[in-house]
Amino acid sequence: MRKLSYIAVDDECIFLSELSKMLEDYPYIEKKANYDDAFKAINMINKEKPDVVFLDYEMPGFNGLDVLKKINYSALVVFITSHLEPIQDIVNHGGKAQLKKYLTKPIKKDDLHNLCLDLYDKLIPDNTPSCNKILIPNGKKSEIVVDTSSLSFIKADGKYTDWYFLDKKEDKAITCSLKEARKILTSKGIPYIDNKSYVILKGGIFKRENDVVKVLYYNDGKKEKKEIAFGKSNDLVIKLKELIG
């Protein structure tokens, strides 16, 4: 699975550490580097070309706008600023980078959460397994076709299972046990993590918080979030690394 990479630039080292810690909860976002020196940062940004640049606006000497103008590719830029209204010189910077959003200090978890949700949507084509259609038994005389490229998670319901997707209504009460579902996915080489009641595909994973995984799924015309508990946090971290890489 391709992840979204980022570089963060701020003259406050403590803030950079706090931001990186908050972003660790989102397994599809990975840090390339943090810089408290804007001069060094711009060279590495253009060399490494991260997907996202978190950029402080108010820095001594070489400020955020100076960095923005020198980014030579279409990076997604998230400005960290104390200004509540859009800053016109940023909006009209005329460079190649794309202004994604403003975040104010101290960063609120909800604001960062919403930003990461927007970033996740940009990853959907790459954040799901390659298009694999599998046949799932549904009783003795019927089968259904499931496209695992949009499959988020499977939930056990006694002898049945409910299948939840990223882009369409769920299929409920399928006559296929969770054990059978695991066997089918494994036989097709489709990776997943699981507990006693759920199987989660990597395309459905949105966020981890300690021993809980938050997944996205389609419900009534929009994406909803669901929390699924696992065992020890360390075990979950290992499983996620094996799944996502």
Residue in 129, 245, 135, 128 with CA at minimum distance from that of residue 180: 135
**pLDDT (0 to 100) of residue 21:** 94
Q: Note the CATH number of domain 133-244.
A: 2.40.50.1020
Q: pLDDT value at position 66? A: 86
Per residue in 123-139, pLDDT tens? 655 555 545 788 898 88
Nearest in space to 127 (alpha carbons), one of 237, 76, 221, 201: 201
Quote the CA–CA distance of 204 and 234 in Å, as a whole number.
20
Is residue 157's pLDDT more than 80? yes
Measured between its terminal Cα atoms, the distance across the chain in Å is 7
pLDDT(27) > 60: yes
| pLDDT for 95 | 75
pTM comes to 0.71
Encoded amino acid at 116, one letter = C
Q: How far apart are CA 213 and CA 194, in angstroms?
A: 11
User: Range with the lowest mean pLDDT among 30-34, 70-74, 89-93?
Assistant: 89-93
Q: Which of 52-61, 90-99, 158-167 has the lowest mean pLDDT?
A: 90-99
* Per-residue pLDDT, 83: 64
pLDDT at 89: 63
Does 27 sit behind a cis peptide bond, omega within 30 degrees of 0 on the bond before it? no
Q: How confident is the model at residue 34 (pLDDT cuts 50, 70, 90)?
A: very high
Work out the mean pLDDT of the chain and round it to a whole number: 87
Dump pLDDT digits (tens) for 183-235: 999 988 899 999 999 999 999 999 998 899 999 999 988 889 999 999 877 88
- Locate CATH 3.40.50.2300 in the chain: 4-123
Helix extents (H) in 31-143: 38-48, 64-70, 88-91, 109-123
> Which has more pLDDT, 98 or 82?
98
Q: Is the Cβ–Cβ distance between 199 and 190 less than 8 Å?
A: no
**Residue-level pLDDT at 181:** 94
pLDDT confidence bin for 156, thresholds 50/70/90: very high
Measured in whole angstroms, how far is the alpha carbon of residue 206 from the centre of its chain?
5
Fold classified for 4-123: Rossmann fold (3.40.50)
For 166-183, write each residue's pLDDT tens digit.
999 999 999 999 999 999
